[in-house]
Amino acid sequence: MIKVNQLSKTFKKTPVLNNITTEINKKEVVAVIGPSGSGKSTFLRCLNGLEQPSEGQVYIDGTQLNEQNVTQIREKTGMVFQHFHLFPHMTVLQNITFAPMETHGTSKEEAEENAMKLLETVGLSDKATSYPNQLSGGQKQRVAIARALAMHPEIMLFDEPTSALDPEMVKEVLDVMKQLASTGMTMVIVTHEMAFAREVADRIIFLDQGAVVEETTPLQFFNTPSTERAQSFLQKVL
């Protein structure tokens, strides 16, 4: 479903990603972990064209992502950000219905019906008319997930979705993500939640200094990491 071929990214001469090649299959849940500054977020952002690779290619469903087809490719991906980025001047319902109505031309009734269903799945039916500033961090992130899902993506990209949350709100967001994974959604998750990665991910990609250092099953990665770099990382975070 996603193919990444020799992807490198350099920001003003600073190398961030270095020759990454990997593949993500349909319905697979992949957790991208690694120390901060390892290029995890940049890697994720290359997958929906928020960053352009300096070298190498990204293929989504066999089509190479480029500047001309980036909007078509983005149709297939939804993204959830660390800091939510809800539209502050719109209600929760408007946040979710805006893109389907403006981009797909979905009717208001249909968009709202779908939005209410999504709000129910993320457990926020009662917040439809609230504004983002009236929600807690965990609630905001669940709305952001619903907003992304409203565009019917085939792939969901999560960029540290729980890093900006108070500890007691992390679980409610992870629960929604778990539920989403169980429906067979293809998911790429940049995260620091090791327990979550171990439980939900089918595969772990461990990045360090912009390169894939280890790529394996959670079981193997957490129990018997093969590289020294992964071992010392796990020692610090577990």
Partner 1 sequence: MEEIIPSIPFILEGILITLKFVLLSGVIGFILGIGVALAKLGKSKALGKIAGAYTAFFRGTPLILQLVYIYYVIPQVTPWNIEPFVAGVIAFSLNSAAYISEIIRAGIQSVDKGQFEAAKALNIPYFKAMRKIILPQAIKHILPALMNEGIMLLKESAVISVIGVSDIMRRGQIVAADTYNYIGALTIPLILYFLMVRVLEMYGSRVERRLSYSD
CB nearer to partner 1: give 78 or 137: 78
CB nearer to partner 1: give 133 or 235: 133
Q: Is 83 in the site for partner 1 (CB under 8 A)?
A: yes
Whole-number Cα distances in Å, 177 to 16, 25, 29, 76, 197: 28, 18, 10, 18, 11
Shortest separation between residue 155's beta carbon and partner 1, angstroms: 12
Q: Is 81 in the site for partner 1 (CB under 8 A)?
A: yes
Shortest separation between residue 74's beta carbon and partner 1, angstroms: 5
Q: Which of residues 9, 74, 140, 142 is near partner 1 by CB under 8 A?
A: 74
**Binding map of partner 1 across residues 107-136, x = CB under 8 A, - = no contact:** ------------------------xxx---
Return d(Cα 175, Cα 169) in angstroms, integer: 10
Phi, psi for 48 (deg, rounded to 5): -125, 20
- Say if residues 151 and 103 touch (Cβ distance below 8 Å): yes
Q: Is 163 in the site for partner 1 (CB under 8 A)?
A: no
> What is the tally of helices (H) and strands (E) in the chain?
9, 10
CB nearer to partner 1: give 47 or 181: 47
Shortest separation between residue 100's beta carbon and partner 1, angstroms: 9
In sequence order, which ranges of the chain are alpha helices (DSSP H)?
40-47, 70-74, 92-99, 108-121, 137-149, 167-182, 194-200, 218-223, 228-237
Residues near partner 1 (CB under 8 A) are: 48, 50, 71, 74-75, 77-79, 81, 83, 85-89, 98-99, 102-103, 131-133, 147-148, 151
